Amino acid sequence: MVNRSRLTSWLMHLKGRRGKQIINHTVKMFRFHMTPFSQLLSRILETLDEYDAKFTFPLVAATAQSNPSLVEWLGSFPHEIAIHGYKHIKYSLLSLDQQVFEFKKAIRIFKELKIPYQGFRAPYNAYSESTIELVEKFGFKWDGGIGYRLEYRYGQEFFKVKLRNGKKSSYTCIPLCEWSDDRMIDKYRLSWKKMAKILIFHLEKARKVNGLVMYDLHPIRIGQREYIRSLSELLLHARNIGAWIPTVSEAVDCWSKDQRWKGDAPVCCLLTGDIDNFTFFDYMRRT
Ligand SMILES: [Zn+2]
157 and 197 in a single domain? The answer is: yes
Provide the residue range defining the domain that includes 11: 1-32
Residues 88, 1 share a domain: no
Same domain, 221 and 204: yes
What integer pLDDT is reported at residue 2 of this predicted model?
44
Same-domain status, 13 and 141 = no
User: What pLDDT does residue 74 have?
Assistant: 98
At 283 the pLDDT is 85
- 154 & 27 share domain: no
If you measure from the C-alpha of residue 264 to the centroid of ligand 1, how many angstroms do you get, rounded to a whole number? 33
Residues 114 and 70 in one domain: yes
Residues with CB under 5 A from ligand 1 (ion): 123, 274, 276
CA of 123 from ligand 1 middle (Å) equals 5
Compute, in angstroms, the gap from residue 17 CA to the centroid of ligand 1: 23
126 CA to centre of ligand 1 in angstroms: 10
Q: Which residues in the chain come in under a pLDDT of 50?
A: 1-2
Residue 50 Cα to chain centre, angstroms: 22
Total number of domains in the chain? 2
Distance 235 CA to ligand 1 centre (A): 23
| Cα end-to-end span (Å), the chain | 37
CA of 90 to the centre of ligand 1 (A): 10
CA 203 vs CA 8, 195, 200: distances in Å: 46, 12, 5
CA 260 to ligand 1 centroid distance, Å: 30
Q: Indicate which CATH number applies to the domain containing 119.
A: 3.20.20.370
Q: What is the distance between the alpha carbons of residues 215 and 148, in angstroms, rounded to a whole number?
A: 10
Both 112 and 189 in one domain: the answer is yes
Q: Which residues, 6+ apart, have CB-to-CB distance to 265 below 8 Å?
A: 242, 243, 244
pLDDT of residue 9: 58
pLDDT score of 1: 44
3-class DSSP state for residue 85?
coil
pLDDT of residue 27: 86
Q: What is the pLDDT of residue 11?
A: 56
In a shared domain, residues 219 and 238? yes
Distance 274 CA to ligand 1 centre (A): 5
Ligand 1 center to 124 CA (angstroms) = 5
The order of strands in the sheet holding 80-83 is 172-173, 142-143, 119-120, 80-83, 56-59, 268-272, 212-216
| DSSP secondary structure string for all residues of 182-246 | HIIIIIT---HHHHHHHHHHHHHHHHTTT-EEEEE--HHHHTSTTTHHHHHHHHHHHHHTT-B--
Question: Ligand 1 centroid to 84 CA: how many Å?
Answer: 7
Q: Are residues 2 and 109 in the same domain?
A: no
Q: Are 17 and 101 found together in one domain?
A: no
What global pTM score does this model have?
A: 0.92
**Ligand 1 center to 245 CA (angstroms):** 22
Instruction: Determine the distance separating the centroid of ligand 1 and the alpha carbon of 237, expressed in angstroms.
Output: 27
Whole-number Å distance, alpha carbon 250 to ligand 1 midpoint, is 22
Residues 153 and 281 grouped into a single domain: yes
What is the rounded CA–CA span in Å between residue 254 and residue 137?
A: 23
pLDDT of residue 285: 80
Tell me: do 14 and 96 sit in the same domain. no
Measured in whole angstroms, how far is the alpha carbon of residue 40 from the centre of its chain?
Answer: 16
Distance 58 CA to ligand 1 centre (A): 8
